[in-house]
Amino acid sequence: MPNRMLPLPPAPWTHRPLPGSSHHPRGRRLLQFALLFLLMLLVYGGLGLTPATPDYDAARADMVRWQFGPPRQAVTHPGVLRSMATVPRHEFVPEALRDAAYDDRPLPIGHGQTISQPYVVAFMTEKLGPKPTDRVLEIGTGSGYQAAVLSGLVAQVFSIEIVAPLAQRAQADLARLGYRNVSVRQGDGYQGWPEEAPFDAVIVTAAPDHVPQPLIDQLKEGGRMIVPVGMAGDQTLYLFTKRAGGLERQAVLPVLFVPMTGPGVERGP
């Protein structure tokens, strides 16, 4: 008869892990889940804490402190600095980008448009020389951020945006945030806003290849206009002052803006 080896019974000190045991794979997963749940309960419940939210006030203060001084051409106008430190830029960018709202860069806002980097907004505002009694025309509302920055520095802002959804959103955001002296309309910025002219100042946040004549006509004598002029890749920011019906020109800064669009631009001067 062949010799057959019979399996030995397990030693009394050995055992197989039971399904509920921490040594069983399923048991380990249950234990890990329980520990994670306990940790979340301790952090968010037992300690009375809530998930951290971004400190936008601190980020805005850092933006003003570090982005507007040397080695760049510093922004020093007290009113402009105060406005930049007050206006909540994160409210004017898409929610998914709010963590980057106070970074030193432009951000997309949809429809092929951007919100300019904070330094450019502050720089252009300072160069415009805003006064408390000014009525200002803005061409290119975009997100509404530039209009909000101007709002606390001048008497009234009239802003035109050619992209209808952006105009509607900016108008709603500005109203929601309490900027009552800003009026927004959808239209061709090249033509300006003749019903509300003349203006003490004009600020253009999209680049035409020449200064639109209607904007010159709607600017008061002695008024200021700041506008980027040129084709993509070769744009210069100019500050103009209206004298005797014409414009005195000062080149300020090489820039890169989205191009101005609309029927007026297509027809040309």
CA distance 47 to 197: 59
User: What does 56-81 look like in DSSP terms, one character per residue?
Assistant: HHHHHHHHHHHHSSTTS-----HHHH
| Entry field: residues in the chain | 269
Residue in this structure with the two tokens 């101007």, named with its chain if needed: 150
> What is the spatial distance between Cα 196 and Cα 157, in angstroms, rounded to a whole number?
10
> Residues 122, 75: contact at Cβ < 8 Å?
yes
Whether 116 sits among the annotated catalytic residues: the reply is: yes
Distance CA(155)–CA(104), nearest Å, equals 28
Query: Tokens 């249950």 label which residue?
Result: 30
| Pairing outcome for strands 156-161 and 135-139 | parallel
Write down the catalytic residue from 116, 143, 151, 159.
116
Q: d(Cα 61, Cα 234) in Å, to the nearest integer? A: 33
Looking at the annotation, which residues are catalytic?
116
